[in-house]
Amino acid sequence: MIRINTAHIDETGLEQIVSNTRAVSDRIGILIDTKGPEIRTNRVSALIQFRTGDRVRLKGDPEQEATHDCITVSYQHIVNNLAVGHDILIDDGTIELKVIEKHVDHLVCEVLNDASLGSRKSLNVPGIRINLPSLTDRDRKYIDWAITNQLDFIAHSFVRNKQDVLDVQQLLDERNSPIKIIAKIENQEGVDHIDEILEVTYGIMIARGDLGIEVPAENIPTLQRILIRKCVEAKKPVIVATQMLHSMITNPRPTRAEVTDIAHAIYDRTDALMLSGETAAGKYPVEAVQTMTRIAREAEKTILMANDFRLPVEGDDLDITSFLAKQAVKSSYKLNVKAIITDCHSGRTACFLSAFRGISPVFAICYDEKVMRMLSLSYGIWTVFQAKNDNRRAYFFDALHHLLGSRLITATDKVAYLGGSFGEGGGTTFLEINEVNKIIMMKKFELPTFNHH
């Protein structure tokens, strides 16, 4: 998937990235970030160097350029929210300031470390809730652009509670847009309200950059595991993001710690891994993607199933789709099923199969390109697009031939097929398990379909 950060781009740049991506493949999902309730420093004409002990004014003025003497920020009322003694962290903590004086229209701060400041860097005040609106006018503009240009995901920044997600959903609903919302969890409020956020969002991103500033850094590994588990249990996709290969912004090889970090995110059972600065501004973007791919492929081979947590079959898991999905995944272990095939109207069945984290690939045949791209976030799903066809059995045979041609299965392997008896949108109602050669050779073999007599 491609993620576009609207904090650093204009519409011309957006159009170029979207057209380039679509030219490469119709399978690649496109996600656009909103700024959300965040504060950033303003632009600078050149990199500003600070030394420990420097004094600098800080004020809210979205239009004024930042200088060595006065750091200006995007939130006009920041002075009202802070007091003498508060700590301010800029650029994920690269620069630390302490407020030593408060005036009507500005703060005087002491710089606590040697550092440099570039344009539009994040600003955090740990432990202080700043009463920012969930959506800015800029956010509304880019959400509107995403709807018009049929993007796939909106990642809403600094989600604090359920309402922040619903504010975005309302804009999508007003234009009947199928775009899915990813809630970025990057402060303590978001962590505290994760259960209600999961009720209304399509998935979450664990945005460790700002999260590691807003909460003690040593808590991040624990929070990452807790948040991933909650997402898997809720059958919602989860992305682990920020500084995964940070050293590859300037170096061609990762550190051993970064390699281990990626592997452990996979062992924790994340759906997706995200690169940011490594590919947005780094010297080695292609190498970073290749490196992450190699690490992910090796980690998936060595996942210890004994360390997995079991998803309970209770509550909404009494849903037929969820029950059958779990049995299909269990067949991978108990019957040595090598692949699970399903056809997708909404993608719900594939999402459920993904949540149970099986060892066999899930091959999802999608009638809608948007659903195909939506599933690009989900663990273990391989999607293809096929135009709608009343002959559901033909989908199954096409999938088998594709898997055979890709050497993902052999003719003697067992496969599972999840399908529905009641046509498009009728939901998953049956699970079929058989050997590939038997299915192909049995010309009279019939799957239950809505037009079967």
Residue 452, in any domain of the structure? no
CA 211, CA 277: separation in Å to the nearest integer? 16
User: Which residues constitute the domain of residue 113?
Assistant: 39-124
Tokens of 417: 């097929």
CA 211, CA 190: separation in Å to the nearest integer? 9
Radius of gyration of the chain measured on its C-alpha atoms:
24
The DSSP-derived string for 241-289 is ESSTTGGGGT-SS--HHHHHHHHHHHHTT-SEE---HHHHT-S-HHHHH
Residue 329, in any domain of the structure? yes
CA 265 to chain centre: 13
CA 80, CA 73: separation in Å to the nearest integer? 13
Q: Are residues 32 and 44 both part of a single domain? A: no
CA 240, CA 377: separation in Å to the nearest integer? 11
Q: Are residues 287 and 363 both part of a single domain? A: no
Kindly list the catalytic residues.
Answer: 3, 40, 184, 242
CA–CA–CA angle 392, 398, 399 (5° rounding): 95
Per-residue pLDDT of 229-264, as tens digits, reads: 999 999 999 999 999 999 999 999 999 999 999 999
pLDDT of res. 451 = 42
pLDDT of res. 391 = 64
Per-residue pLDDT of 147-189, as tens digits, reads: 999 999 999 999 999 999 999 999 999 999 999 999 999 999 9
CA 430, CA 23: separation in Å to the nearest integer? 38
pLDDT of res. 312 = 57
Dihedral, 107, 95, 285, 254 alpha carbons, nearest 10: -160
Q: Are residues 70 and 212 both part of a single domain? A: no
- Of 124, 144, 163, which one is at a domain's C-terminal end? 124
Residue 451, in any domain of the structure? no
Q: Are residues 267 and 331 both part of a single domain? A: no
Number of domains, the chain: 3
Residue 447, in any domain of the structure? no
Residue 453, in any domain of the structure? no
288 to 13, 255, 339, 345, 383: CA distances (angstroms): 22, 12, 30, 35, 24
Q: Are residues 15 and 117 both part of a single domain? A: no
Q: Which stretches of the chain score pLDDT less than 50?
A: 316-317, 443-453
Q: Are residues 7 and 112 both part of a single domain? A: no
Q: Are residues 157 and 77 both part of a single domain? A: no
